[in-house]
Amino acid sequence: MSGLEDGPLQREWPDKPAGATPHIKRKGFFRELPFLIALAILIALLVKTFLVQAFFIPSESMEPTLHGCEGCRGDRVLVNRLVYRFRKPRRGEIIVFGGRHNGPDTRSAARKLVDFLTEGLGVTRPSNTDYIKRIIGLPGESLSVKDGKVTITRVDGKKLTLVEPYLSPVHDDRPFGPVKVPVGEYFMMGDNRTMSADSRYGLGTIRLHDIIGKAFVKIWPPGRWGRLSSVRYKGDYPGGLPSAAIIVIVTTRRRRRGARILEGAGRTGGEAA
- DSSP per-residue codes, 41-102: HHHHHHIIIIIEEEEE--SSTTTTTS---TTS---EEEEESSGGGTS---TT-EEEEEEE-S
Q: CA geometry: angle at 199 spanning 55 and 119, to 5°?
A: 15
Q: Report yes or no: 137 and 199 within 8 Å, Cβ to Cβ.
A: yes
What is the Cα–Cα distance from 204 to 186, expressed in whole angstroms? 9
- Give catalytic status of residue 2 as yes or no: no
Q: Cα–Cα distances in Å, from 162 out to 86, 108, 131, 215?
A: 26, 48, 22, 21
- pLDDT for residue 65: 94
> What does the pLDDT read at residue 74?
83
Question: Each residue of 144-184: pLDDT tens digit?
Answer: 999 999 999 999 999 999 999 999 988 888 999 899 999 99
Report how far residue 170's alpha carbon sits from residue 185's, in angstroms, rounded to the nearest whole number: 28
- Active site annotation includes 133: yes
Candidates 219, 174, 227; CA nearest to 198 is: 174
Average pLDDT over residues 184-191: 96
CA 157 – CA 203 distance, rounded (Å)? 26
Percent of the chain with pLDDT over 90: 40
Cβ–Cβ under 8 Å, residues 242 and 85: no
- Which of the two residues, 27 and 53, has the higher pLDDT score? 53
Domains of the chain: 44-136+184-237 (2.10.109.10)
pLDDT digits (tens, 9 = 90+) for 74-96: 899 999 999 999 999 999 999 99
For residue 241, give the nearest of 22, 71, 90, 27 by alpha carbon: 90
Given a cut of 70, is residue 15 above it in pLDDT?
no
Q: Pick 105 or 227 by higher pLDDT.
A: 227
Instruction: Please give the average per-residue pLDDT across 256-266, as a whole number.
Output: 44
Q: Which of 133, 142, 199, 214 is catalytic?
A: 133
Distance CA(37)–CA(193), nearest Å, equals: 44
Q: Which of 48, 59, 61, 196 is catalytic?
A: 61
